[in-house]
Structure 1
Amino acid sequence: MSAAYSGSSPRSEPDSADAAWYRSFGAELVAQGLSPRELQRMVAETRAEAESAGIAPASLFGPAVLFARELASALKEDGAGSQATEHTPGPVVLRLHDVTVRRGRRTVLSNFTLTVRRGEIVAVVGSNGAGKSTLLQACAGLLRTSSGRVERTERFGYAPQLDALAPLLTVDEHLRLFGVLDGASQSRAVPTGHQILHRLGWRPNGSQITRTLSGGTQQKLNLALAQLASPELLLLDEPYQGLDALAYEDLWTLISAWRGSGAGVLLVTHLLRDIDFVDRVVELPTPDSSTGDSKTKDHAA
């Protein structure tokens, strides 16, 4: 079971009552025996409904524990439990075929093949030096491959492990800049970015200079920029870096919502608890120092 709803201190923000409600809601769903995928789906749908209505969840749904028990009971009665979490992946948004990447004499990736479809979350794991970040850079077109083929949808977002933020630009300047690059209007980019940041537990001051933000807050902005244009593919390199426990919870709720909206997600992680929330896990072993070869393991979560 997920540890995302274990006890942690509430946010010192105006929405702390809402955050506490969602924690209680999630904890009761876990107690009722929902699987991690069911849990993520129910939390995402409940949050989306409350945000769409513009009403606090406690006012809209009543006590969190009672509402969670009602939902769990309804799932059991109509048999929707495990079936509701099954989904049919959509069209391919990323395909790598026999991709090899070399750095000098060292082979980082060797004959690597991978397919990611819309509505699918794929996790990449492996030891340091296995080529996880290199893989995402190749997927994003930032790194030339030595051989093989990379096919990718044009609508994609990339959040690197080392953020690509400009330290002297403000939050809203980043949103406007990335919005223009992604083909969105400036008038739409800023409110969309703020909405994503709200869902990550931060109410931004748009005029704040990026270098004055904490590492975790910069990572939230990094994630919002990647999702700004509602891409069909999201490439996330250890997206939880610098996030506290509540923000980590919010991140997975958001990723679940992205998957629910039809995006494919490829993320690098070293956290074992993340594996409960994904559809497939790809393991990148460290290449043999003498041959540079590696064999990739791909299995269902």
Structure 2
Amino acid sequence: MATILTTASAAIPAGVGAVVPVLQASGITKSYRRGIWPRRHTQLILASADLTLYPGEVVGLTGENGSGKSTLMKILVGAVGADQGTVARTGRLGYCPQEPLVYARLTCDEHFDLFGHAYAMTHQAMVQSRQAIYEELGFARYADTRADQLSGGTLSKLNLGLALLADPDLLLLDEPYAGFDWDTYQKFWGLVAQRRDVGRTVLIISHFVVDEDRFDRIVAIRNGKTAPR
């Protein structure tokens, strides 16, 4: 099983003047059992994959369908266990999964309140952050709307907003702009640029990268391994 260390001072040595990564994943291996007996077999998804993220950078993670992008991200956040490898990270983490994980009967406001409690935010800090997210992504009019009554695009905004709520040091986004219109897509990249400017780190999964100039670097997964693109 992979070891995940949330305080990485011991796991990520830093020399004098060295830039300490906010996340370092090493030797991540993951396989799944597929099929039914007697044709059941083991499918290797990740084969000793490595990934290091530094403060103030925007990194793209690409690969074909089924290459292991989402699996790797779930391992990085601790949602899925790896068969082998280690993950060390520092600071507060924000995660935007590909499929929104929301409660159908809760409104947008109630989601932010719930996640604010989970992040141990003060009520005032939560309200201020929530209002900024509403304004930046343009969905304040849906504050009292239940999640099961939101359109796909607005649900994606809520999904992203919950990841942004606590101003995380490291933001992990799995296809975050699915369902966004062009205006919201541009606002999204504005938010990403703001986070980079203040030293935050963003990892974005995409099947393909159409805005390569917006990334500091791009990492591709091929045959279960990570490599610079």
**How do 1:200-279 and structure 2 match up within 5 A?**
200-279=137-216
Q: 1:186 pairs with 112, 120, 123, which one?
A: 123
Larger Rg: 1
After TM superposition, give the deviation of residue 103 of structure 1 in Å: 1.3
Structure 2 Cα separation of the partners of residues 271 and 129 of structure 1: 13
Q: 1:150 pairs with 80, 87, 94, which one?
A: 87
Report if the CA contact (8 A) 1:201-1:250 is conserved: no
Structure 2 Cα separation of the partners of residues 139 and 283 of structure 1: 16
Q: Normalised by the size of structure 1, how large is the TM-score?
A: 0.65
Structure 2 Cα separation of the partners of residues 154 and 101 of structure 1: 25
Report if the CA contact (8 A) 1:98-1:111 is conserved: yes
The share of aligned pairs that are identical, in percent, is 38
Q: 1:162 pairs with 83, 99, 123, which one?
A: 99
Amino acid at match of 1:92: P
Q: Note the aligned Cα RMSD (angstroms).
A: 1.5
After TM superposition, give the deviation of residue 127 of structure 1 in Å: 0.5
Pick closer, same or farther for the CA change 1:248–1:271 going to 2, 3 Å. farther
Report if the CA contact (8 A) 1:175-1:193 is conserved: yes
Deviations 1:64-106 (A, max 9, x none): xxxxxxxxxxxxxxxxxxxxxxxxx953111001111111211
Q: 1:92 pairs with 2, 21, 26, which one?
A: 21
After TM superposition, give the deviation of residue 197 of structure 1 in Å: 2.5
Higher helix share: 1
Structure 1 Cα separation of the partners of residues 190 and 84 of structure 2: 37
Deviations 1:105-147 (A, max 9, x none): 1111110111001101110001000011111100110000100
| Stretches (4+) displaced over 6 A | none
- Stretches of structure 1 that go unaligned for 5 or more consecutive residues are 1-88, 288-293
**How do 1:59-70 and structure 2 match up within 5 A?**
none
After TM superposition, give the deviation of residue 154 of structure 1 in Å: 4.3
Q: Normalised by the size of structure 2, how large is the TM-score?
A: 0.85
Report if the CA contact (8 A) 1:90-1:262 is conserved: no
After TM superposition, give the deviation of residue 279 of structure 1 in Å: 0.7
Q: How many pairs align? A: 204
Structure 2 Cα separation of the partners of residues 209 and 90 of structure 1: 43
**What is the SS of the residue equivalent to 1:198?**
helix
Structure 2 Cα separation of the partners of residues 143 and 154 of structure 1: 20
- Stretches of structure 2 that go unaligned for 5 or more consecutive residues are 1-17, 34-41
Higher strand share: 2
**What is the SS of the residue equivalent to 1:296?**
strand
Report if the CA contact (8 A) 2:50-2:225 is conserved: no
Amino acid at match of 2:226: T
**What is the SS of the residue equivalent to 1:197?**
helix
Pick closer, same or farther for the CA change 1:208–1:257 going to 2, 3 Å. same
